[in-house]
Amino acid sequence: MIIIGICDDEEVYRAQIRKLCSAFFDAQKQEYGFVEFASGEEVLAYQGDKIHLLFLDIEMPGKDGLEVLSEVRRNERIWRIVFVTSHRELKWETVDLKTLAFLEKPLERIGVETCIKTVIRENRENVNISYKTLKGTGYIRLDRVVYVQACGNYVSICTEKEEIPGYDSIKVIEGQTKGTTLIRTHKSYLANLQFVDRMNGVALHMTNGSAVPVGRKYYQSVKEAYFTFIKNVTIDRNR
């Protein structure tokens, strides 16, 4: 099921987005649900199921859309955001990993449908990674993994909140994630490009404050992968 969030202080715009989304999902026979908010404060207080796509108004009383973005960057319950506004000049202030698009009011069907198709595709690519535990097999979604570190005969799978031991080699994890955003940076590390804050010559600085080393033999491939990711996600999405 795809969960759509709609945050706008005006019910007429919430109804418009709900109607456009429903028409698309019904035509595709895709299971879906809605969660609606009338303010940014309601979004930040949300404790329900993961919202795959949040249509977020920028201009609202209280916390506006940009303030909400700054506070949900590490919130796993809000996965992707589409900003909705009448002010085109605010477009580049919304660029972020979570930002899927910037749509101007009144919304048009093709823009909404394009965003939904993109989030469905990205959700499909968000693979489950399996790893051995003392009790059997554990699973974790790719978009929760910040980096993976080889530690002797096991690996440490690091998220923004915890470190999970897995009794596999780093090659086993790497083999499951070929072609994804989890890339080899060092003989002992895999890093998820989704969580890179910045890169310098010897390390990737991650959003959780950690630094993942970049080995000399991996430097060129890491650099190319990182800048391609930045272009595809934070620029091409927001044209």
| Same structural domain, 188 and 218 | yes
* pLDDT over 60 at 239, yes or no: no
Give the amino acid at 57. Answer: D
| Same structural domain, 53 and 109 | yes
Q: How many domains does the chain have?
A: 2
| Same structural domain, 177 and 215 | yes
- Across 44-142, the runs of DSSP E, i.e. the strands, are 51-57, 78-85, 99-104, 128-133, 136-141
Which of 73, 96, 125 is at the close of a domain?
Answer: 125
Cβ neighbors of 22 (< 8 A, separation 6 or more) are 32
Tell me the residue range of the domain where 218 lies. 128-236
Which of 125, 155, 176 is at the close of a domain?
Answer: 125
Measured from the Cβ of residue 153, the count of other Cβ atoms closer than 10 Å reads 8
Provide the whole-model pTM.
0.80
Phi, psi (degrees; rounded to nearest 5) at 146: -80, -50
| Same structural domain, 133 and 213 | yes
| Same structural domain, 132 and 71 | no
Q: What is the CATH number of the domain that holds 146?
A: 2.40.50.1020
Cβ neighbors of 79 (< 8 A, separation 6 or more) are 50, 51, 52, 53, 98, 119, 123, 143
| Same structural domain, 75 and 143 | no
Tell me how far apart the alpha carbons of residues 131 and 58 are, in angstroms, rounded to a whole number.
Answer: 41
pLDDT tens column, 167-221: 999 999 999 999 899 999 999 999 999 999 889 879 999 988 999 999 999 999 9
| Same structural domain, 132 and 111 | no
| Same structural domain, 14 and 112 | yes
> Binning pLDDT at 50, 70 and 90, where does residue 238 land?
very low
Give the amino acid at 225. Answer: A
* pLDDT over 90 at 44, yes or no: yes
